[in-house]
Structure 1
């Protein structure tokens, strides 16, 4: 861990200052941040699309099924990113993926119950269980059975 990781009070204060700046509009919000990642001119988006294409080629050459799962962003359900999910879906399908969008499975869930911590909105065990259940409900197991 970096040296500053031992300064818990400083990290706490920085986090609160960051939150206040975002709420005041001085810094970009998480919505602005995520939307910027998926713009055509975003530094990583062309590489993301190429990675999708490369995965599509690789799986097609080997005759393997490829399922691409669109997860919801865990700050809020339903979140404000339907347009982003749609764009990612189009790019993944164009690359040959079978796309499963599980964002609607979380529409009535309380996102805070699925966070690792109040300051970390990545999914916890409950969130991962919900993700797994949503995928299991939507993926046909026959897709992964080998033909004799």
Structure 2
């Protein structure tokens, strides 16, 4: 039987917010200022967000990768509590294969499953979660 020892988690994965990293770079550089970081298991290749162990194989050897920031809304709901105005809370399935909770900019009732989104440079001031913007305005038949 093979036993995994130790926990290999990068400092970025242990950051207080665990959402956005501010790598070296900024205006005038090719490197993006804000990036969504995720982990990938070195044993089975599963992509995950903000975990200490792989949810598939329970491996602890995770490497940190940078997401391209493109995803699809899997689920969205409108929340009315702890806020002066209604806001949406969405689960975003990222192109790399992991799911992250965040907010999509726009009218809360206008965000639907299947909408394509891109990571915004804005960060949610209340919860510290990533904020996304719609990539294109989806066609909806109004009846």
TM class, shorter-length: under 0.3
- Greater strand percent: which structure? 2
- Greater helix percent: which structure? 1
